[in-house]
């Protein structure tokens, strides 16, 4: 089946299934993702998998497509020169970003040619002033170019939470000329943005800068349930969500015995994600997937309640 233009597909209003976690899934499959980490900071996270285990990254993409994902996110979350620079690989940023794009595109072409690939990227310092205002626009522009060269269908600016960062990020990636989805992180239990800013303030600040969809991500499922109706009121375009189900700030990234999978994923099963997915569809969500600690089984369960597989 020929792949429909992504914006045209969104405009149909039909729902789409986004894939699940990459970093925690690599970790679950035995890939060490804590190079450059300190006791309380993540280091380069999944970026070094482009050097250490690209074949595992490929397998994860394949497994999510087999589970029914309509959109894969490339493993380029932190393949920027800041994070890779922590482990002496700063000059590999563009190369690893392109490779991340190609692995997802190849898996898609082979398994689900009607599906989409989103080129993902996150703020190199997690939104920390005064460094991110300097590094974020440069790194995002580089990643957007590299991902476009790799053939992705759209960009996913994610794990971002402050309005100033978001505006800078959208301006940095817009020249690539691809559709843009925005993934807002760490939604509070009350359903607000992490620093007390409102969705209305975000939409106002974005002004004429075009964002094709806004999703709530890397937040507890309950926070997403609280936030989606607020986002719906503030933003008229397509919305969605991909919760994390196992990440806590208390995680020690250097604890080799510690599996993110072992946190609260025992109590939040694929069936729970499917049940929440139904609720979120009813709240107006069009794009649903999973963040930290979700697995292909979660996406397969979600697929069963989201109609219209590509
Ligand atoms: Zn996450």
CA of 217 to the centre of ligand 1 (A): 7
CA of 215 to the centre of ligand 1 (A): 13
CA of 2 to the centre of ligand 1 (A): 31
Q: Per the structure block, which two tokens stand in for 11?
A: 């405009």
CA of 1 to the centre of ligand 1 (A): 32
Q: What distances in angstroms separate CA 129 from CA 40, 124, 126, 219, one per listed residue?
A: 18, 11, 9, 22
Q: Rounded to whole angstroms, how far apart are CA atoms 302 and 174? A: 31
CA of 53 to the centre of ligand 1 (A): 20
Q: What pLDDT score does 255 carry?
A: 53
Q: Rounded to whole angstroms, how far apart are CA atoms 187 and 223? A: 6
Q: Rounded to whole angstroms, how far apart are CA atoms 295 and 166? A: 28
What pTM value is reported for the model? 0.94
CA of 294 to the centre of ligand 1 (A): 9
Q: What distances in angstroms separate CA 227 from CA 162, 221, 233, one per listed residue?
A: 16, 10, 10
**Residue pLDDT, tens place only, 98-141:** 999 999 999 999 999 999 999 999 999 988 878 888 999 999 99
**Residue pLDDT, tens place only, 198-224:** 999 999 999 999 999 999 999 999 999
> Strands 239-242 and 154-160, how do they pair?
unpaired
**Residue pLDDT, tens place only, 3-36:** 999 999 999 999 999 999 999 899 889 998 889 8
CA of 244 to the centre of ligand 1 (A): 5
Q: What integer is the mean pLDDT of 28-53?
A: 89
CA of 101 to the centre of ligand 1 (A): 19
CA of 78 to the centre of ligand 1 (A): 13
Name, in order, each residue with C-beta under 8 angstroms of 109's C-beta and a sequence gap of 6 or more: none
Q: At what angle do helices 132-150 and 93-111 cross, to 10 degrees?
A: 40
């Amino acid at each position: 089946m020929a792949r429909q233009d992504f914006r045209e597909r969104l405009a149909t209003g039909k729902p789409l299934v986004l894939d699940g976690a990459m970093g925690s899934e690599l970790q679950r499959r035995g890939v060490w993702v804590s190079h450059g980490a300190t006791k309380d900071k993540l280091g380069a996270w999944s970026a070094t998998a482009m050097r250490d285990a690209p074949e595992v990254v490929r397998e994860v993409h394949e497994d999510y497509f087999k589970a029914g994902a309509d959109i894969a996110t490339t493993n380029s979350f932190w393949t920027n020169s800041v994070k890779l620079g922590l482990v002496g690989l700063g000059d590999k940023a563009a190369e690893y970003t392109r490779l991340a794009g190609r692995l997802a595109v190849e898996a898609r072409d082979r398994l689900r040619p009607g599906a989409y690939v989103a080129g993902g990227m996150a703020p190199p310092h997690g939104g920390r002033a005064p460094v991110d205002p300097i590094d974020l626009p440069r790194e995002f522009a580089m990643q957007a170019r590299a991902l476009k060269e790799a053939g992705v269908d759209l960009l996913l600016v994610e794990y971002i939470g402050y309005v100033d960062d978001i505006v800078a990020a959208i301006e940095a990636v817009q020249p690539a000329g691809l559709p843009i989805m925005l993934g807002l992180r760490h939604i509070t239990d009350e359903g607000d943005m992490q620093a007390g800013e409102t969705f209305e303030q975000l939409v106002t600040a974005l002004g004429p800068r075009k964002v094709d969809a806004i999703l709530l991500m890397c937040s507890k499922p309950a926070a997403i349930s609280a936030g989606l109706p607020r986002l719906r009121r503030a933003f008229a375009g397509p919305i969605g969500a991909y919760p994390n189900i196992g990440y806590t700030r208390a995680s020690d990234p250097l604890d080799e015995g510690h599996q993110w999978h072992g946190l609260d994923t025992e109590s939040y099963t694929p069936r729970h994600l499917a049940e929440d997915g139904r609720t979120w569809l009813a709240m107006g969500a069009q794009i649903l997937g999973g963040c930290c600690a979700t697995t292909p089984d979660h996406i397969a369960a979600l697929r069963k309640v989201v109609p219209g597989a590509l």
